[in-house]
Protein backbone atom coordinates (compact mmCIF):
# COMPACT_ATOMS: atom_id res chain seq x y z
CA UNK A 1 0.00 0.00 0.00
CA UNK A 2 1.35 3.38 -1.04
CA UNK A 3 -0.36 4.82 2.05
CA UNK A 4 2.09 2.86 4.22
CA UNK A 5 5.21 4.27 2.64
CA UNK A 6 4.21 7.79 1.59
CA UNK A 7 4.36 10.58 4.14
CA UNK A 8 1.05 10.66 6.04
CA UNK A 9 0.87 14.39 5.65
CA UNK A 10 0.40 14.31 1.87
CA UNK A 11 -3.03 12.66 2.15
CA UNK A 12 -4.15 15.74 3.99
CA UNK A 13 -3.41 18.01 1.03
CA UNK A 14 -6.37 19.24 -0.99
CA UNK A 15 -5.64 19.01 -4.71
CA UNK A 16 -5.33 22.40 -6.42
CA UNK A 17 -8.34 23.27 -8.57
CA UNK A 18 -6.92 25.00 -11.65
CA UNK A 19 -8.86 27.06 -14.15
CA UNK A 20 -9.98 24.67 -16.88
CA UNK A 21 -7.61 24.82 -19.87
CA UNK A 22 -9.20 25.73 -23.20
CA UNK A 23 -7.91 22.54 -24.89
CA UNK A 24 -9.59 20.39 -22.24
CA UNK A 25 -12.97 22.03 -22.77
CA UNK A 26 -12.60 21.68 -26.53
CA UNK A 27 -11.83 18.01 -26.11
CA UNK A 28 -14.58 17.27 -23.61
CA UNK A 29 -17.42 19.29 -25.09
CA UNK A 30 -16.37 19.28 -28.74
CA UNK A 31 -16.92 23.04 -29.05
CA UNK A 32 -14.68 25.71 -30.53
CA UNK A 33 -14.18 29.41 -29.92
CA UNK A 34 -13.79 29.09 -26.18
CA UNK A 35 -12.70 31.96 -23.95
CA UNK A 36 -10.93 31.48 -20.64
CA UNK A 37 -11.78 34.00 -17.95
CA UNK A 38 -10.72 31.76 -15.10
CA UNK A 39 -7.05 32.21 -14.24
CA UNK A 40 -6.38 35.95 -14.38
CA UNK A 41 -3.98 35.77 -17.29
CA UNK A 42 -3.49 38.88 -19.42
CA UNK A 43 -6.21 38.79 -22.12
CA UNK A 44 -4.10 41.07 -24.32
CA UNK A 45 -1.37 38.44 -24.48
CA UNK A 46 2.37 38.80 -23.97
CA UNK A 47 4.41 41.82 -24.98
CA UNK A 48 5.51 41.54 -28.64
CA UNK A 49 9.03 42.43 -27.48
CA UNK A 50 8.95 39.56 -25.04
CA UNK A 51 7.89 37.13 -27.76
CA UNK A 52 10.59 38.34 -30.13
CA UNK A 53 13.26 37.95 -27.44
CA UNK A 54 12.11 34.41 -26.66
CA UNK A 55 12.12 33.41 -30.34
CA UNK A 56 15.67 34.61 -30.65
CA UNK A 57 16.76 32.81 -27.48
CA UNK A 58 15.35 29.53 -28.80
CA UNK A 59 18.64 29.08 -30.66
CA UNK A 60 20.48 28.76 -27.34
CA UNK A 61 18.19 26.17 -25.84
CA UNK A 62 20.80 23.38 -25.87
CA UNK A 63 22.62 25.22 -23.09
CA UNK A 64 21.61 25.30 -19.43
CA UNK A 65 20.03 28.55 -18.30
CA UNK A 66 21.85 31.07 -16.12
CA UNK A 67 21.19 29.64 -12.66
CA UNK A 68 21.60 33.08 -11.11
CA UNK A 69 19.22 34.91 -13.49
CA UNK A 70 21.86 37.64 -13.51
CA UNK A 71 20.55 39.95 -16.24
CA UNK A 72 16.97 39.77 -15.06
CA UNK A 73 17.93 40.41 -11.44
CA UNK A 74 20.10 43.30 -12.57
CA UNK A 75 17.21 44.87 -14.50
CA UNK A 76 14.77 44.26 -11.64
CA UNK A 77 17.18 45.72 -9.09
CA UNK A 78 17.46 48.87 -11.16
CA UNK A 79 13.73 49.14 -11.74
CA UNK A 80 12.63 48.68 -8.13
CA UNK A 81 15.72 50.33 -6.57
CA UNK A 82 17.15 47.42 -4.57
CA UNK A 83 20.43 45.47 -4.74
CA UNK A 84 20.96 42.25 -6.65
CA UNK A 85 21.25 40.24 -3.46
CA UNK A 86 17.74 41.37 -2.44
CA UNK A 87 16.21 39.35 -5.28
CA UNK A 88 15.37 35.70 -5.91
CA UNK A 89 13.77 34.47 -9.14
CA UNK A 90 11.53 31.43 -9.25
CA UNK A 91 9.66 29.12 -11.58
CA UNK A 92 6.59 31.23 -10.98
CA UNK A 93 6.02 32.88 -7.62
CA UNK A 94 4.38 29.57 -6.74
CA UNK A 95 7.84 28.05 -6.62
CA UNK A 96 9.11 30.81 -4.35
CA UNK A 97 6.20 30.15 -1.99
CA UNK A 98 7.27 26.53 -1.82
CA UNK A 99 10.94 27.46 -1.32
CA UNK A 100 9.94 29.79 1.52
CA UNK A 101 8.01 26.97 3.18
CA UNK A 102 10.94 24.58 2.76
CA UNK A 103 13.29 27.16 4.23
CA UNK A 104 11.28 28.12 7.29
CA UNK A 105 8.75 25.46 8.25
CA UNK A 106 9.14 22.42 10.49
CA UNK A 107 6.28 20.11 11.49
CA UNK A 108 4.28 21.75 14.26
CA UNK A 109 5.03 25.30 13.16
CA UNK A 110 2.07 27.53 12.43
CA UNK A 111 1.31 29.79 9.51
CA UNK A 112 -1.43 32.41 9.42
CA UNK A 113 -3.55 32.71 6.28
CA UNK A 114 -6.62 34.79 5.43
CA UNK A 115 -9.72 32.90 4.33
CA UNK A 116 -10.56 32.86 1.51
CA UNK A 117 -7.23 33.62 -0.11
CA UNK A 118 -4.79 32.04 -2.54
CA UNK A 119 -4.78 28.28 -1.96
CA UNK A 120 -1.03 27.82 -2.47
CA UNK A 121 -0.22 29.09 1.03
CA UNK A 122 -2.07 26.21 2.63
CA UNK A 123 -0.58 23.80 0.10
CA UNK A 124 3.05 24.72 0.71
CA UNK A 125 2.51 24.87 4.49
CA UNK A 126 0.89 21.46 4.64
CA UNK A 127 3.64 19.83 2.58
CA UNK A 128 6.07 20.85 5.30
CA UNK A 129 3.78 19.63 8.08
CA UNK A 130 2.90 23.08 9.36
CA UNK A 131 -0.51 23.88 10.83
CA UNK A 132 -2.58 26.47 9.04
CA UNK A 133 -4.43 29.04 11.11
CA UNK A 134 -7.17 30.59 9.00
CA UNK A 135 -8.49 34.06 9.72
CA UNK A 136 -11.74 35.00 7.97
CA UNK A 137 -11.78 38.11 5.79
CA UNK A 138 -13.69 41.12 7.04
CA UNK A 139 -15.70 42.90 4.33
CA UNK A 140 -13.92 40.63 1.82
CA UNK A 141 -10.57 42.12 2.98
CA UNK A 142 -7.70 40.80 5.11
CA UNK A 143 -8.50 41.45 8.77
CA UNK A 144 -4.97 42.32 9.86
CA UNK A 145 -6.03 43.00 13.44
CA UNK A 146 -7.45 39.50 13.76
CA UNK A 147 -4.44 38.04 11.92
CA UNK A 148 -2.20 39.82 14.41
CA UNK A 149 -4.08 38.16 17.26
CA UNK A 150 -3.67 34.77 15.59
CA UNK A 151 0.12 35.04 15.82
CA UNK A 152 1.70 33.14 18.73
CA UNK A 153 5.10 31.70 19.63
CA UNK A 154 4.61 28.87 17.12
CA UNK A 155 3.90 31.21 14.20
CA UNK A 156 6.59 31.29 11.52
CA UNK A 157 4.91 32.94 8.53
CA UNK A 158 1.98 35.26 7.87
CA UNK A 159 0.74 35.44 4.27
CA UNK A 160 -0.81 38.67 3.05
CA UNK A 161 -2.22 38.43 -0.45
CA UNK A 162 -2.46 42.03 -1.60
CA UNK A 163 -4.61 42.44 -3.70
CA UNK A 164 -6.33 39.35 -2.38
CA UNK A 165 -7.22 36.51 -4.70
CA UNK A 166 -10.25 35.84 -5.07
CA UNK A 167 -11.74 39.10 -3.77
CA UNK A 168 -9.47 41.74 -5.37
CA UNK A 169 -9.36 43.80 -2.16
CA UNK A 170 -6.27 45.46 -0.66
CA UNK A 171 -4.97 46.19 2.82
CA UNK A 172 -3.92 49.84 3.24
CA UNK A 173 -0.54 51.24 4.20
CA UNK A 174 -1.93 52.27 7.58
CA UNK A 175 -3.19 48.74 8.28
CA UNK A 176 0.08 47.15 7.16
CA UNK A 177 2.16 49.62 9.20
CA UNK A 178 0.14 48.92 12.33
CA UNK A 179 0.31 45.20 11.76
CA UNK A 180 4.08 45.16 11.33
CA UNK A 181 4.67 47.51 14.28
CA UNK A 182 3.12 45.05 16.73
CA UNK A 183 4.47 41.87 15.15
CA UNK A 184 7.06 39.61 16.76
CA UNK A 185 10.13 40.45 14.59
CA UNK A 186 10.97 36.77 14.16
CA UNK A 187 7.84 36.14 12.12
CA UNK A 188 8.22 36.23 8.34
CA UNK A 189 5.58 38.25 6.50
CA UNK A 190 4.97 37.35 2.86
CA UNK A 191 3.34 40.08 0.78
CA UNK A 192 2.06 38.30 -2.31
CA UNK A 193 1.66 41.05 -4.88
CA UNK A 194 0.83 39.05 -8.00
CA UNK A 195 -1.54 41.86 -9.12
CA UNK A 196 0.65 44.77 -8.01
CA UNK A 197 0.78 46.41 -11.45
CA UNK A 198 -3.03 46.63 -11.65
CA UNK A 199 -3.47 48.50 -8.37
CA UNK A 200 -4.46 52.18 -8.39
CA UNK A 201 -5.62 52.48 -4.78
CA UNK A 202 -4.10 55.58 -3.13
CA UNK A 203 -3.48 53.87 0.20
CA UNK A 204 -1.86 50.74 -1.19
CA UNK A 205 1.31 50.06 0.81
CA UNK A 206 4.72 50.06 -0.87
CA UNK A 207 5.80 46.81 0.74
CA UNK A 208 9.36 47.08 -0.61
CA UNK A 209 9.86 49.84 1.95
CA UNK A 210 9.46 47.23 4.69
CA UNK A 211 12.19 45.03 3.23
CA UNK A 212 15.03 47.19 4.53
CA UNK A 213 13.55 47.45 7.99
CA UNK A 214 13.67 45.39 11.13
CA UNK A 215 10.85 43.06 10.18
CA UNK A 216 11.28 39.89 8.14
CA UNK A 217 9.37 40.72 4.99
CA UNK A 218 9.42 39.15 1.54
CA UNK A 219 7.49 40.64 -1.36
CA UNK A 220 6.49 38.37 -4.23
CA UNK A 221 5.63 39.50 -7.74
CA UNK A 222 5.12 37.65 -10.98
CA UNK A 223 5.36 37.79 -14.77
CA UNK A 224 2.23 35.62 -15.06
CA UNK A 225 -0.40 38.30 -14.74
CA UNK A 226 -0.04 41.77 -16.31
CA UNK A 227 3.23 40.79 -18.03
CA UNK A 228 1.36 38.05 -19.84
CA UNK A 229 3.78 35.10 -19.74
CA UNK A 230 2.05 32.70 -17.31
CA UNK A 231 3.03 29.78 -19.53
CA UNK A 232 6.71 30.52 -19.03
CA UNK A 233 6.48 30.26 -15.22
CA UNK A 234 8.52 33.08 -13.75
CA UNK A 235 8.16 35.29 -10.69
CA UNK A 236 10.44 36.94 -8.15
CA UNK A 237 10.84 37.69 -4.47
CA UNK A 238 12.42 40.70 -2.77
CA UNK A 239 13.76 40.52 0.78
CA UNK A 240 16.83 41.32 2.82
CA UNK A 241 19.97 39.43 1.74
CA UNK A 242 19.92 37.06 4.77
CA UNK A 243 16.46 35.86 3.81
CA UNK A 244 17.30 35.56 0.12
CA UNK A 245 20.47 33.56 0.77
CA UNK A 246 18.64 31.21 3.17
CA UNK A 247 15.92 30.57 0.57
CA UNK A 248 18.56 30.09 -2.13
CA UNK A 249 19.86 27.07 -0.19
CA UNK A 250 16.77 25.05 -1.08
CA UNK A 251 16.47 26.32 -4.66
CA UNK A 252 17.30 24.00 -7.56
CA UNK A 253 20.34 25.32 -9.44
CA UNK A 254 18.50 25.76 -12.78
CA UNK A 255 14.99 26.51 -11.57
CA UNK A 256 14.18 29.20 -14.14
CA UNK A 257 14.43 28.29 -17.81
CA UNK A 258 16.20 30.38 -20.45
CA UNK A 259 13.11 31.51 -22.39
CA UNK A 260 11.42 32.61 -19.18
CA UNK A 261 14.43 34.73 -18.17
CA UNK A 262 14.76 36.31 -21.59
CA UNK A 263 11.00 36.83 -21.98
CA UNK A 264 10.69 38.42 -18.55
CA UNK A 265 13.61 40.76 -19.15
CA UNK A 266 12.09 42.00 -22.40
CA UNK A 267 8.62 42.28 -20.83
CA UNK A 268 10.04 44.40 -18.05
CA UNK A 269 11.31 46.89 -20.60
CA UNK A 270 8.05 47.15 -22.55
CA UNK A 271 6.24 49.96 -20.76
CA UNK A 272 3.84 50.40 -23.63
CA UNK A 273 2.48 46.88 -23.30
CA UNK A 274 2.14 47.39 -19.55
CA UNK A 275 0.20 50.63 -20.00
CA UNK A 276 -2.03 49.13 -22.67
CA UNK A 277 -2.81 46.15 -20.45
CA UNK A 278 -3.53 48.33 -17.43
CA UNK A 279 -5.78 50.62 -19.45
CA UNK A 280 -7.60 47.73 -21.12
CA UNK A 281 -8.22 46.21 -17.70
CA UNK A 282 -9.57 49.49 -16.37
CA UNK A 283 -12.00 49.82 -19.28
CA UNK A 284 -13.10 46.22 -18.84
CA UNK A 285 -13.58 46.75 -15.13
CA UNK A 286 -15.74 49.82 -15.74
CA UNK A 287 -17.85 48.03 -18.33
CA UNK A 288 -18.39 44.94 -16.18
CA UNK A 289 -19.10 46.74 -12.91
CA UNK A 290 -21.56 49.07 -14.63
CA UNK A 291 -23.34 46.04 -16.07
CA UNK A 292 -23.43 44.29 -12.67
CA UNK A 293 -24.94 47.43 -11.13
CA UNK A 294 -27.58 47.65 -13.86
CA UNK A 295 -28.52 44.02 -13.29
CA UNK A 296 -28.49 44.40 -9.51
CA UNK A 297 -25.70 41.85 -9.04
CA UNK A 298 -23.47 42.27 -5.98
CA UNK A 299 -19.72 42.33 -6.67
CA UNK A 300 -16.62 43.12 -4.64
CA UNK A 301 -14.88 46.29 -5.91
CA UNK A 302 -11.56 45.07 -7.29
CA UNK A 303 -7.97 46.34 -7.46
CA UNK A 304 -6.93 43.44 -9.69
CA UNK A 305 -7.86 41.95 -13.07
CA UNK A 306 -10.67 39.76 -11.79
CA UNK A 307 -14.01 40.30 -10.06
CA UNK A 308 -15.69 38.27 -7.33
CA UNK A 309 -19.34 38.34 -8.23
CA UNK A 310 -22.51 37.09 -6.56
CA UNK A 311 -24.60 35.37 -9.19
CA UNK A 312 -27.32 34.42 -6.70
CA UNK A 313 -27.67 30.85 -7.98
CA UNK A 314 -25.58 27.69 -7.53
CA UNK A 315 -22.12 28.53 -8.91
CA UNK A 316 -21.50 24.96 -10.09
CA UNK A 317 -24.57 25.16 -12.31
CA UNK A 318 -23.52 28.57 -13.58
CA UNK A 319 -20.04 27.21 -14.27
CA UNK A 320 -21.37 24.22 -16.25
CA UNK A 321 -23.86 26.26 -18.25
CA UNK A 322 -21.28 28.92 -19.04
CA UNK A 323 -18.83 26.19 -20.03
CA UNK A 324 -21.41 24.79 -22.44
CA UNK A 325 -21.48 28.25 -24.05
CA UNK A 326 -17.68 28.30 -24.28
CA UNK A 327 -16.97 30.69 -21.39
CA UNK A 328 -14.71 29.37 -18.62
CA UNK A 329 -14.99 31.04 -15.19
CA UNK A 330 -14.09 30.05 -11.62
CA UNK A 331 -16.66 28.87 -9.09
CA UNK A 332 -16.90 30.54 -5.68
CA UNK A 333 -17.63 27.33 -3.74
CA UNK A 334 -13.93 26.47 -3.53
CA UNK A 335 -13.54 29.77 -1.67
CA UNK A 336 -16.58 29.15 0.55
CA UNK A 337 -19.04 31.25 -1.48
CA UNK A 338 -21.36 28.83 -3.30
CA UNK A 339 -23.33 31.52 -5.12
CA UNK A 340 -20.31 33.53 -6.28
CA UNK A 341 -18.07 33.22 -9.30
CA UNK A 342 -14.69 34.79 -10.00
CA UNK A 343 -14.28 36.16 -13.48
CA UNK A 344 -11.11 37.48 -15.07
CA UNK A 345 -11.55 40.84 -16.78
CA UNK A 346 -11.05 40.14 -20.48
CA UNK A 347 -10.83 42.06 -23.72
CA UNK A 348 -13.95 44.09 -24.46
CA UNK A 349 -15.15 41.41 -26.85
CA UNK A 350 -14.71 38.76 -24.16
CA UNK A 351 -16.39 40.91 -21.52
CA UNK A 352 -19.42 41.44 -23.76
CA UNK A 353 -19.66 37.77 -24.52
CA UNK A 354 -19.39 37.05 -20.79
CA UNK A 355 -22.25 39.40 -19.86
CA UNK A 356 -24.48 38.11 -22.68
CA UNK A 357 -23.82 34.52 -21.63
CA UNK A 358 -24.21 35.16 -17.92
CA UNK A 359 -27.53 36.92 -18.43
CA UNK A 360 -28.82 33.98 -20.44
CA UNK A 361 -27.53 31.42 -17.94
CA UNK A 362 -28.88 33.14 -14.83
CA UNK A 363 -32.35 33.54 -16.31
CA UNK A 364 -32.29 29.88 -17.35
CA UNK A 365 -31.38 28.80 -13.80
CA UNK A 366 -33.73 31.04 -11.84
Residues at the site binding ligand PLP, with contacts judged by CB under 6 A: 40, 92-94, 118, 161, 165, 192, 194, 222, 224, 230, 235
Q: Which residue is nearest to ligand PLP (CB)?
A: 92
State the helix-helix crossing angle for 22-29 and 315-324, rounded to 10 degrees: 80
Q: How far is the CB of 197 from ligand PLP (least distance, A)?
A: 13
Q: Which of 118/123 has CB closer to ligand PLP?
A: 118
Min dist. Cβ of residue 91 to ligand PLP (A)? 8
Q: How far is the CB of 31 from ligand PLP (least distance, A)?
A: 26
CB nearer ligand PLP, residue 165 or residue 351: 165
Q: How far is the CB of 192 from ligand PLP (least distance, A)?
A: 5
Residue closer to ligand PLP (CB basis): 116 or 280: 116
Spatial CB neighbours of 50, under 8 Å, sequence gap ≥ 6: 227, 228, 229, 263, 264, 266, 267, 270, 273
User: Quick one: which H or E segment has residue 80?
Assistant: helix 70-80
Closest to ligand PLP by CB, 86 or 164 = 164
Half-sphere exposure of 260 (CA within 13 A, CB side): 26
- If 0-12 CB within 10 Å is exposed, 13-18 middle and 19+ buried, where does residue 90 land? buried
Q: Measured from the CB atom, is 151 or 161 closer to ligand PLP?
A: 161
Q: Are 169 and 141 in contact (CB under 8 A)?
A: yes
Residue (230 or 262) nearer to ligand PLP, CB: 230
Taking the complex as a whole, the smallest distance from the CB of residue 313 to ligand PLP amounts, in Å, to 26
Select 93 or 207, whichever has its Cβ closest to ligand PLP. 93
**Got the DSSP string for 152-212?**
-TTEEEEEEESSPTTT-----HHHHHHHHHHS-TTSEEEEE-TTGGG---TT---THHHHT
Among 184, 256, 263, 192, smallest CA distance to 228 is for 263
Neighbours of 300 (CB within 10 A): 21
Give dist(CA 88, CA 276) in Å, integer: 28
For ligand PLP, which is the closer residue by CB, 143 or 192? Answer: 192
**Minimum distance from CB of 95 to ligand PLP (Å)?**
7
Q: How far is CA 158 from the centre of its chain?
A: 16
Whole-angstrom distance, CA of residue 90 vs CA of residue 104: 17
The rounded distance, in Å, linking the Cα atoms of 243 and 285 is 37
* Least gap, CB of 117 to ligand PLP (angstroms): 8
CA separation for the pair 354, 348 (Å, rounded)? 10
Give min distance, CB of 340 to ligand PLP, in A: 16
Residue number, 330 or 353, with CB nearest to ligand PLP:
330
Residue 94 or 270: which CB sits closer to ligand PLP?
94
CA atoms within 13 A on the CB side of 357: 22
Other CB atoms within 10 Å distance of the CB of residue 85: 15
Instruction: Kindly state the smallest distance separating residue 43's Cβ from ligand PLP, in Å.
Output: 14
In the bound complex, what is the minimum distance in angstroms from residue 16's beta carbon to ligand PLP? 11
- Share in percent of the chain as helix, strand, coil (round to 5): 45, 15, 40
Amino acid sequence: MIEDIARKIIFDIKPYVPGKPIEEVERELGIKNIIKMASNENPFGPSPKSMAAMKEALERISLYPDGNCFYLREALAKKICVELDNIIVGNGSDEILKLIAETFLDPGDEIVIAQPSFSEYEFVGKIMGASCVFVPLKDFTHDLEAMSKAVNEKTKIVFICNPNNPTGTVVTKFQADEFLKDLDPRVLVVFDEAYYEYVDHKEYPESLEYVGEQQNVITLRTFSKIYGIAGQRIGYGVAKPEIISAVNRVREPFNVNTLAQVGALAALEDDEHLKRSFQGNLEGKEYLTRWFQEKGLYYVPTQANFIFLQVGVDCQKVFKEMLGEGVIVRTGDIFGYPDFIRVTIGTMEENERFTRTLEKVISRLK
